[in-house]
Structure 1
Amino acid sequence: MSVSHDLSIGIDFGTSNTVVAVADSHGNVKALTFDHGGENLKVFVTALCFWDERHGNGLRTQVEGGPWAIEQFLEGLSPHRFIQSFKTFAASATFQETRIFRDRYRFEDLLSAFLRTLVRHGGEQLNWGVPNVVIGRPVQFAGYNPDDDLAMQRYRAAFGKLGADHARYVYEPVGAAFFYARQLNRDSTVLVADFGGGTSDFSVMRFSRESGVLRAEPLGHSGIGIAGDAFDYRIVDHVVSPQLGKGGFYRSMGKTLSIPNHYYANFARWNQLAMMKGSGDLKELRELAKVALEPEPLEKFIDIIEYDLGFELYRAVSSTKVALSSQDETEFRFQGEGVDIKARIKRADFESWIADDVKRIAGTVDEALMKSGVSATEIDKVFLTGGTSFVPAIRNLFVERFGEERLTSADQFESIAYGLALIGQTDDPERWAVQGSQDVKK
């Protein structure tokens, strides 16, 4: 992978977090930092907060992203809309737009608004005019029946608005592989497992050295729309939703009917929860609460949506998931606006809830090996990246297939962006770009 360009930019736009890296022609790579309250952050939270401010005789919608979005949301000094995990909508044909105050936003509008906040806070560090901008994308986008071509149209439209219409798009695990490959001192076949918030992606890469130059050959890729957010969903579905009316009943036309489950399916998905306040769900839940046999749980559900408690709920669930990676049992606790939910959760129960998800992830790993024509015994190293790789059930999956001695990992947030920036420094970055739906140019 010889170098040939002054600067290149790698962008890992993630479901939960976004990282931008810059590489130079000497192979030096660093993350773009954001000064937030005197702290230099390398991770820009993938979140948006919209709010109204009065200008003259009218109102004007303002928007912030990253940690500033969270800060604005937590201050809560004016009516606002807080949106997280919106990357999950990228490949959804059913998601056309959402209304925020007086305006309608398509996915590409949300993404371009987010990118503008990233640029604003990144300052001169982020120059879209450099010849090589490399943007990560999942092997398979999240969601039911994801439309790969639609997602890429939306990506190109959003990044194009900021002057990055010349950008190349590369599978995220390939970016992670390039970052890891710098450690290799011999020819190796590497399986890269990238666990994000919305997707789990796998790439098999063969690395070799010729005359001191590191060469890379992609052998096969696979992906699935199951990752950290899906595991969060299981906790919400089993622990939180039953205390908010799931499984309850209401009366209508003299009949006793079950409260529809689709509200709870939306509630347990972070991207959908962010949209419930602006859809008809909130109004429908208020009507259901009037005729529910037990209205109090539904009223708590309504409060969580109405008072935008989704972010606090997300943090409580995430903390519980992290605790279960190192403890056999922990307490889940969520409080806010009079809502108080607590429960003891055992790791064994959590692992039973995610068992089907883990099984499907395992099948996707096998798919990557099959597409590559490589057996598990021929994999020299397995490089794990992403927070979900620390979940014991996930790590055990790889230990059982490959052995503990072949597993390695690195920074869970920065490795993909670093690798993408390094790809921009190769003599043929186009070689790594995804050319249309699920095809890699070789």
Structure 2
Amino acid sequence: MSDSFLAIDFGTSNSLVGAYHQGKVHGALPLDPKSADPTLMRTLLYFPNPDLCYYGSEAIEQYIEQDMEGRLFRSFKSHLPNQSYLGTVIDNRIVTLENMVGIFLLELKKRAEKHLNHQITKAVIGRPARYSMDAVADGFALHRMEKAAKMAGFEEVQFVPEPLAAAFDYRKQITSEKIVLIGDFGGGTSDFTLIRLRAEGFDNKDVLAIDGCPMAGDALDSVFMSHRLSEHFGAKSRYRLPMSSNVLTMPPAVSQKLNHPAHIVHLKERDTYEFIKEVKKCSLTVKDKDAIERLFILLEDQQIFPFFEAIEKTKRGLSASDSTEFDFDYPGLELKEQFTTAQFIDWAMNTRQKIFEGLDRCLESAGLTPDQVDLVCLTGGTAKVPFIQGELETRFGKQKLQTQAHFHSVLSGLVESASFWANGQKVT
């Protein structure tokens, strides 16, 4: 039996890999030499053509160097539970979603194997508490991940809930038994685990409840588009088809794709693209036509990635100030908008509600009230959003919160899960 296992934290925004190799723990491996933190690889794929792919920091570098031709994919993990999303077409070549995830996992595997100088066919891979609130869609997402892992060359895989993995890491900090809530707030999902942590060991019965919500950082970014910015790109453009007296508005199937970085790239697919061209021809006013022209510049000049980076910067700005300016100055797309924290809180109300419904279900499932929780450990960038943190402080008290939201806690727990597996103990 091989005693070498990879531990993979495959995230919506960033990915990390560690290993349990020949009886030794290896923390985050240096995967991306062009990244500011080489252990942190952006979950990005860039295809300049169907036969060539770049990953992580190099994907962005090459994308810019090659005049933003080809296709750049980000947040593609978020499509996993969507049964109607099969994949995409790059220059007449079909690339399924399982292919995209498999290609990325294979690259992580190759880079880790090169560092360890050893071929590895077993992996512990993190999974969100819920890919979807729908049980069928959640199971479908996991099935896709299993297929992608096989495509990447893994013969055996264990999937471990990411918040449970984070709990293993936090266990190292405690000296006496505690009931701990782990909140893992990433780009795509918000995940919760309630666990009885003991310094001396772990038993599956210590996991009191796991739950979550398929919304987090990307969903919060999308509110800036849906409530204000998307109308600059034709979301509300009106048109009248030839031989018809009916005035129509851009259909939701198109306008809703504008709001999310994982979905907007698919407006370039042939049928949708041709439809938007027709809408532009039939636009009711110059203003309607100009908005769609901006959408074409956004798509054709490959400005989607920098535009959503600017949105994320705006969101971070509102964590430090009551208002901030969104400023995008690409020719033809010049936009200045002022945003306030009050607006952000109002627009994000539905996302916030869904996130905390996941937390409430977790507490209910464990049969616990907030005052029975000894410690709240938070990880992931979205944990730093003030109204998320404020809600947790209201529920549990500021003194219980540990908010050093670092990227490596989930990975550290996945490596520990791999060591359990190596020693014959399965983590569920």
* TM-score normalised by the chain length of structure 2: 0.91
- Pair 1:140-2:159 in alignment: no
- Pair 1:61-2:79 in alignment: no
- Pair 1:106-2:96 in alignment: yes
Between 1 and 2, higher relative CO (CA 8 Å, sep ≥ 6) is seen in 1
- 2:253 match: 262
Trace 1:85-234 onto structure 2 (pairs within 5 A): 85-122=75-112, 124-125=114-115, 129-130=119-120, 133-142=123-132, 147-209=137-199, 212-213=200-201, 217-234=206-223
Q: Tell me, what secondary structure is at the counterpart of 1:198?
A: coil
Deviates more, 1:373-382 or 1:94-103: 94-103
Trace 1:20-35 onto structure 2 (pairs within 5 A): 20-23=17-20, 28-35=25-32
Residue 167 of structure 1 deviates from its aligned partner by 1.4
Deviates more, 1:119-128 or 1:243-252: 119-128
Select which of 312, 333, 352 maps to 1:318: 312
Q: Is the 8 A contact 1:282 1:302 kept in 2?
A: no
Q: Give the counterpart letter for 1:315 in structure 2.
A: E
- Pair 1:431-2:426 in alignment: yes
- 1:372 match: 366
- Pair 1:416-2:416 in alignment: no
Trace 1:302-381 onto structure 2 (pairs within 5 A): 302-381=296-375
Distance in 2, matches of 1:38 and 1:17, equals 11
Distance change (3 Å), C-alpha of 1:406 and 1:23 = farther
Q: Tell me, what secondary structure is at the counterpart of 1:95?
A: coil
Cα deviation digits, residues 1-54 of structure 1 (max 9, x gap) = xxxx965432111111111123468875421113534855111111111123xx
Q: Which protein has the bigger helix share?
A: 2
Distance change (3 Å), C-alpha of 1:413 and 1:269 = same
Q: Tell me, what secondary structure is at the counterpart of 1:324?
A: helix
Q: Tell me, what secondary structure is at the counterpart of 2:215?
A: coil
- 1:48 match: 45
- 2:387 match: 393
Residue 429 of structure 1 deviates from its aligned partner by 6.4
Distance change (3 Å), C-alpha of 1:274 and 1:229 = same
- 1:236 match: 225
Distance change (3 Å), C-alpha of 1:203 and 1:38 = closer
Cα deviation digits, residues 274-303 of structure 1 (max 9, x gap) = 222124222211111111123111100121
Residue 412 of structure 1 deviates from its aligned partner by 2.9
Distance change (3 Å), C-alpha of 1:420 and 1:410 = farther
Segments of structure 1 that go 5 or more residues without pairing to the other structure are: 53-59, 434-442
Deviates more, 1:238-247 or 1:370-379: 238-247
Distance change (3 Å), C-alpha of 1:206 and 1:166 = same
Q: How many correspondences in the alignment?
A: 421
Residue 311 of structure 1 deviates from its aligned partner by 0.4
Q: Tell me, what secondary structure is at the counterpart of 1:426?
A: helix
Distance in 1, matches of 2:21 and 2:173, equals 18
Distance in 2, matches of 1:143 and 1:232, equals 20
Distance change (3 Å), C-alpha of 1:121 and 1:70 = farther
Deviates more, 1:178-187 or 1:157-166: 157-166
Residue 261 of structure 1 deviates from its aligned partner by 3.2
Residue 239 of structure 1 deviates from its aligned partner by 2.4
Q: Tell me, what secondary structure is at the counterpart of 1:425?
A: helix
Q: Give the counterpart letter for 1:154 in structure 2.
A: R
Residue 186 of structure 1 deviates from its aligned partner by 0.7
Q: Is the 8 A contact 1:89 1:143 kept in 2?
A: no
Q: Give the counterpart letter for 2:427 in structure 1.
A: W
Q: Tell me, what secondary structure is at the counterpart of 2:222?
A: helix
Q: Which protein has the bigger strand share?
A: 1
Q: Tell me, what secondary structure is at the counterpart of 1:336?
A: coil
Residue 213 of structure 1 deviates from its aligned partner by 4.1
Residue 126 of structure 1 deviates from its aligned partner by 5.7
Deviates more, 1:278-287 or 1:41-50: 278-287
CA RMSD, aligned part only? 2.4
**Percent identity over paired residues:** 29
- Pair 1:290-2:281 in alignment: yes
Residue 196 of structure 1 deviates from its aligned partner by 1.4
Q: Is the 8 A contact 1:12 1:18 kept in 2?
A: yes
Q: Tell me, what secondary structure is at the counterpart of 1:167?
A: strand
Cα deviation digits, residues 235-269 of structure 1 (max 9, x gap) = 11122112223323212213322222332210111
- 1:75 match: 65
Cα deviation digits, residues 85-119 of structure 1 (max 9, x gap) = 11011121101231111311111100111123334
Distance change (3 Å), C-alpha of 1:88 and 1:190 = same
- 1:437 match: none
Q: Tell me, what secondary structure is at the counterpart of 1:21?
A: strand
Residue 122 of structure 1 deviates from its aligned partner by 4.2
Distance change (3 Å), C-alpha of 1:72 and 1:290 = same
* TM-score normalised by the chain length of structure 1: 0.89
Q: Is the 8 A contact 2:375 2:401 kept in 1?
A: yes
Residue 222 of structure 1 deviates from its aligned partner by 0.8
Q: Tell me, what secondary structure is at the counterpart of 1:104?
A: strand
Q: Is the 8 A contact 1:88 1:198 kept in 2?
A: yes
Residue 82 of structure 1 deviates from its aligned partner by 0.9
Distance in 1, matches of 2:234 and 2:76, equals 26
Deviates more, 1:354-363 or 1:142-151: 142-151
Distance in 2, matches of 1:414 and 1:11, equals 11
Residue 226 of structure 1 deviates from its aligned partner by 1.1
